[in-house]
């Protein structure tokens, strides 16, 4: 047993029947290896882990040396936003196809985890976005985003108008369907679909990608991750700001979204032999004949 991982927290994808059996077996296997095992309240309830201490995710973050997350990339995003404050490393076990974040296969879970928990792994630090939405002098919302922050039109379908400042310098005003501010991790998500570049996950940068801008001259911009990005809403009928596509907040004209780098990073652990470019090639079907 790796001395660094004495206590391991388990998190399963919510409302997913497919994880019940594997998570139960994983909990037993970890105990047999000598690890103390914790789990979130929802995981214990869904999987009937009656002999595993149950707690809220923040409390698990305070106690665990490692989190094993079973589900997929969406589950990893959700967990990472809480665990980033506790600097708990994460391993992702994917139920289905290879994920960008959850890259341990369910089929080889025990053999792969045996190697990783014995110290054979690749560690990677990922930056997150620290986000505030302000209305005048009032703080409306403060949260983190692992993938991206998206300011976009909601139900009316009309273009919105916003201004962008970087480090208090005016960059542009834009009429568009919205704007994606993505971390390197999120550069392969919505930002990529909107025409943004792929950033290597260890790059110290953020990318700003307009969504269907009402001009031919708008292009994505990559900026230093130490920059402060401010989005001011100038005109709109119905707008929301989304965080990783999992949390959102309605916006009004005059509201500001302020984004900078989170003070802590998330540490992802990958199996030995992990190669980001292999993942890109598989997920994006590079080189396949049409």
Active-site annotation holds for 250: no
What are the structure tokens assigned to 175, written together?
């009429």
Annotated catalytic residue, options 73, 130, 244, 255: 73
In angstroms and rounded to an integer, the radius of gyration of the C-alpha atoms of the chain is 20
The residues carrying an active-site annotation are 73
């Amino acid at each position: 047993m790796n001395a660094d991982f004495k206590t391991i927290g388990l998190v399963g994808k919510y409302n997913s029947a497919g994880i019940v059996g594997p998570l139960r077996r994983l909990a037993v296997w970890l105990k047999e290896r000598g690890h103390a095992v914790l789990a979130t309240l929802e995981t214990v309830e869904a999987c009937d882990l009656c002999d595993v201490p149950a707690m809220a995710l923040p409390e698990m973050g305070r106690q665990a040396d490692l989190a094993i997350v079973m589900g997929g990339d969406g589950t990893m995003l959700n967990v990472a936003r809480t665990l980033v404050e506790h600097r708990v490393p994460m391993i992702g076990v994917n139920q289905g196809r290879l994920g960008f974040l959850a890259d341990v296969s369910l089929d080889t879970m025990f053999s792969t985890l045996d190697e990783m928990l014995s110290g054979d792994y690749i560690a990677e630090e990922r930056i997150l976005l620290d986000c505030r939405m302000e209305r005048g002098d009032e703080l409306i919302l403060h949260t983190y985003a692992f993938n991206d922050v998206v300011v976009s039109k909601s139900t009316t379908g009309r273009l919105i108008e916003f201004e962008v400042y970087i480090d208090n310098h005016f960059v542009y005003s834009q009429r568009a369907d919205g704007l994606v501010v993505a971390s390197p991790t999120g550069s392969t998500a919505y930002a990529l679909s909107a025409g943004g570049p792929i950033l290597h996950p260890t790059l110290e940068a953020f990318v700003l990608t307009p969504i269907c801008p009402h001009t031919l001259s708008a292009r994505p911009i990559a900026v230093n991750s130490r920059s402060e990005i401010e989005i001011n809403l100038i005109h709109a009928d119905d707008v929301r700001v989304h965080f990783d596509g999992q949390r959102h907040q309605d916006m009004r004209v005059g509201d500001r979204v302020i984004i900078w780098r989170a003070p802590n990073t998330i540490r992802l652990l990958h199996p030995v032999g992990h190669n980001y470019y292999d993942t890109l090639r598989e997920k994006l079907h590079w080189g396949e004949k049409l």
